[in-house]
Amino acid sequence: MGETIAERYRKALPGSWAQWERACRIIPGGITHDSRHLVPFPLYVARASGPRKWDVDGREYIDYWMGHGALFLGHAHPTMVEAVQRQVSQGTHYGACHELEVEWADWITRLVPSAQMVRFTMSGTEATHLAIRLARAATGRPKLVKFTGHFHGWADGVATGVNPPFEIPMSAGIPGSVLGDVLLSPPNDIAALERLIKSRDDIGTVILEPSGAQAGTDPIDPGFLKDLRQLTSDRGLILIFDEVITGFRYAPGGAQEYYGITPDMTTLAKIVAGGLPGAAVCGKRELLSQMAFGPDAQRNRQGRVAQNGTYNSNPLTATAGIAMLSQIADGQHHKTANARGAELRSALNDVFRKAGAPCVAYGDVSVCHIGLEGAPGAGKKRDASLVHKWRCALILHGVDMSANHGWVSAVHGDREIEETAEAVRKAVADLQAERALP
């Protein structure tokens, strides 16, 4: 047998290997986001432009991470670069309100159907944290329902029921008292949710990813969304759409525009901030207004929903957010990205079929999920070693993609799709040679 994928990977990426060894001495596991865990070591990137990026060894990749889905217009889009460069010289933090945050919020209220008011945070995790706080304050009921498999960031309050086995929290170190306020329900099962809601009187909020679990890896049934909206309205529960991924991607108004279903509150991150760190909560005026100071000092101290955050809606992020939203508002870029998404899914399925591999590419709009072991199934456990081999093989052939999905941008072109299909063909052959795939 020739060299294994891991052996070839070590030889081809000496610069990444060296950086990772250095990092491991001072950064736990050598990584700063759990999704970068890769055996034998992760990729170190030096620069990026459009749909491509280059690693520290000078190797070129077609990128499908796209800033974890934030870079809808690709890396270093000229308009974004120009806007951010202009702003950086005007100051990056005024310790004061500024026009840019109002304009940014204005764009969100114009585009997102549920957005009557907006408040900014720095990450999607913070946005869901704030939205849940607002919902609990409004209802006075502590229990939150989340769906198994759905991801809402890494904060304690939602770090459960994410990966199977669902009864084990996402992380060690989370107090049972916090976990006790989250009730899990299976997705796409309205009867189960109805039973849960009827069984107790302390549930006030339901949150979900409107695409289905983990950006649509386990797709949602649109009929379920409709029933969910009806049920939560009927029972006076607050429905939060976590549109950190789907916001501005499924449509300029997000999944709520795409499916025609309006939640009470929405969380946004990634595209909303144009590739800089930033996020938002938006929703009904009466819910968001709980944060506003008023004339009643006692209510301000005891009944108001509080939020701080040094970098919330900083001028640099607000500039990037405005530059992004103003460019994608008319939906033209969506047409391009969605067409490329469909072409990519179809090209990869062709490759998988010809290779006789069980893999499948699927997804909506500009998202390309990969099921290495076949079609998705709710809560299906994935073979971790296969995932690592797949990613390394793809990197060796010039494509960097998360283990289960790729984000197609509006600047991925025909050439990128063709080259990706060829890279995937070679990666599948490598995996089959190692008997990692049948």
Q: From the CB of 263, what's the least distance to ligand PMP, in Å?
A: 13
Identity of the residue, 128 or 256, whose beta carbon is nearer to ligand PMP in the bound complex: 128
Identity of the residue, 355 or 365, whose beta carbon is nearer to ligand PMP in the bound complex: 365
Identity of the residue, 214 or 338, whose beta carbon is nearer to ligand PMP in the bound complex: 214
Identity of the residue, 152 or 340, whose beta carbon is nearer to ligand PMP in the bound complex: 152
Q: Please spell the DSSP secondary structure of 91-116, one letter per residue.
A: -S--SS--HHHHHHHHHHHHH-TT-S
Identity of the residue, 396 or 408, whose beta carbon is nearer to ligand PMP in the bound complex: 408
Tokens linked to 228: 């969910």
- Identity of the amino acid at 188: N
Q: From the CB of 247, what's the least distance to ligand PMP, in Å?
A: 9
Q: From the CB of 218, what's the least distance to ligand PMP, in Å?
A: 13
Strands 60-63 and 52-55: antiparallel
Q: From the CB of 209, what's the least distance to ligand PMP, in Å?
A: 5
Which residues in this chain contact ligand PMP in the complex, by CB under 6 A?
68, 123-125, 128, 151-153, 209, 215, 242, 244-245, 269, 279
Contacts of 66 (CB under 8 A, 6+ apart): 72, 74, 75, 407, 408, 409
| CA separation for the pair 107, 240 (Å, rounded) | 20
Half-sphere exposure for 315 (CA within 13 Å, toward CB): 16
Identity of the residue, 101 or 209, whose beta carbon is nearer to ligand PMP in the bound complex: 209
Q: Are 366 and 409 in contact (CB under 8 A)?
A: yes
Q: Which residue is nearest to ligand PMP (CB)?
A: 124
Q: From the CB of 151, what's the least distance to ligand PMP, in Å?
A: 5
Contacts of 135 (CB under 8 A, 6+ apart): 144, 204, 205, 238, 240, 264, 265, 287
301: number of Cβ within 10 Å:
9
Q: From the CB of 204, what's the least distance to ligand PMP, in Å?
A: 20
